[in-house]
Structure 1
């Protein structure tokens, strides 16, 4: 979601069909990434906790990211020591802390509310840029922010009626997840330009995987690795279809249609999660949720169109 712009999508093959193909890849990546919340909820039905769920997720995704990291280590110059320390921090904050808080929060709130809160990450990036980088926020941007946050408040108070204090706790945890990922986006901007997205993501994901798996062995007995076959199947889906594939699909989409169009295509994420939650988890869809979702999407859409105009 970071780096939204109004720039015209690259016309790499220069055809409408190629653009539509890139758009389809971006939408597919957004849907798959959003589906991790559904898979996590299904895993919680097997009496697993967030520590175990995220460890299994990383166990299945780590081999792919480790293979890419090794390839990059052999084909590119070694990292400077300062960059290695920065990558360590980025991996711990952007993927370990953010993912762990997200999975913790999912134990207490609906997947629809979780996805909407996470979707506010670009607004946190904008607010942080204004506070620390002294970037100006115009009236239209404030309108976009208020619209998006108004949608969250609407869904939050709707869900609060049924979940009480658990909804508050879960929302705060997922909010922390979104803030952690916003910090990652802000801190990684300069490194992406120097190292490339593929190298940075693969290294950071290896750091995150080590932290998640190490945390499991520190806090849980190794015997918990023995689970029903369904847990392994769902964890494989979580690690490959909901983690590895969306990362690469988003990269391909950005190359084909540009970051702005790819980011806007990602707006399908909260909508797909809402309806998947109803279809798979039997979570009800109410008019309040639809209205809140519409407000969040409208706010992010306005922000994505305006961000490229900021001087």
Structure 2
């Protein structure tokens, strides 16, 4: 009983810490943009600094069930690494050039609703009445939040919102499509392989656009890139995996609503970002809708 309580306590700590660290990524990206760096170079720094760690993990931890893994499975890893981490990250970094960090996290937070919709479209999984209601509630919240933002700013917010929406969509596609591969490889191994593919895609993209030329930036940019790689990529990815292992996916989903809230709080202190009462109302609606979907999925 004591061991079970201890595992639950550590799981809660891992969940909260992992979610907060993931949320800090958007704030660090916005801080780096103040030094006039483009999204592709910044993304290269983030993934490049994390790359050696994922490479070591990939060599250290072998797949859980190597005998059942086929060449086709590795080809699927190439595809999901491209979609789930390369495209999702690229759209995210592009969107943050036009959008507040807090609003970015609110849009990304809707990916569970996309998982439900994609699972219904591709795998004919039934959507319950409660899930349908939750999805409607979620997108009403998004509409409320961005209607107010567009009214206060120029239309570049719409571009930023669309790019972040695409980031959430590609990440949801990755989750839906890769679910059957993870039991074969293991969570840590699969994540490492996918991140390696993603980093190689980003490196190739950078070389095609900029060649081998890498501009010199202030030390703060490299520090932020390293911080994103370690504290908002590598560490939280394993904390979240450990939390899910101790708490279960359904219990972990309860803590997911901390993501938008923690990003808004961090953005307020580090970026001096303000969010209106109308947007807070919209955020609460989004959190309620996503929590309803996540809770129903996990039950």
Sort the TM-score into its range (normalised by shorter chain): over 0.9
- How far the C-alpha of 1:304 sits from its partner, in A, is 1.8
Deviations along 1:204-257, one digit per CA (max 9) or x if unpaired, are 000001111221222125443532111111111111100001100001111111
Task: Name which of 214, 218, 230 aligns with 2:220.
Answer: 230
Q: 1:292 maps to what in 2?
A: 282
Are 2:231 and 1:241 aligned?
yes
- How far the C-alpha of 1:165 sits from its partner, in A, is 1.7
Residues 158, 190 of structure 1: alpha-carbon distance in 2 compared, 3 angstrom cutoff: same
Task: Name which of 265, 269, 272 aligns with 1:275.
Answer: 265
Q: Could you tell me the TM-score, scaled by structure 2's length? A: 0.95
Unpaired runs of 5+ residues, structure 1, are 1-10
- Aligned equivalents of 2:292 and 2:64: distance in 1? 41
- How far the C-alpha of 1:293 sits from its partner, in A, is 1.2
Q: 2:60 maps to what in 1?
A: 71
Are 2:152 and 1:162 aligned?
yes
- Aligned equivalents of 1:93 and 1:225: distance in 2? 28
Deviations along 1:127-151, one digit per CA (max 9) or x if unpaired, are 1112222222222111111111111
Are 2:242 and 1:252 aligned?
yes
SS across alignment from 1:127? helix
Q: Could you tell me the TM-score, scaled by structure 1's length? A: 0.91
Which residues in structure 2 correspond to 1:136-155 (within 5 Å)? 136-155=126-145
Are 2:30 and 1:41 aligned?
yes
- Aligned equivalents of 1:95 and 1:224: distance in 2? 22
Root-mean-square deviation (CA, aligned residues, Å) is 1.7
- Aligned equivalents of 2:55 and 2:179: distance in 1? 22
- How far the C-alpha of 1:50 sits from its partner, in A, is 0.8
Q: Is the CA contact 1:23–1:261 (under 8 Å) kept in the aligned structure 2? A: no
Unpaired runs of 5+ residues, structure 2, are none
Deviations along 1:11-51, one digit per CA (max 9) or x if unpaired, are 89212x43122112101101111111001001111111110
SS across alignment from 2:61? helix
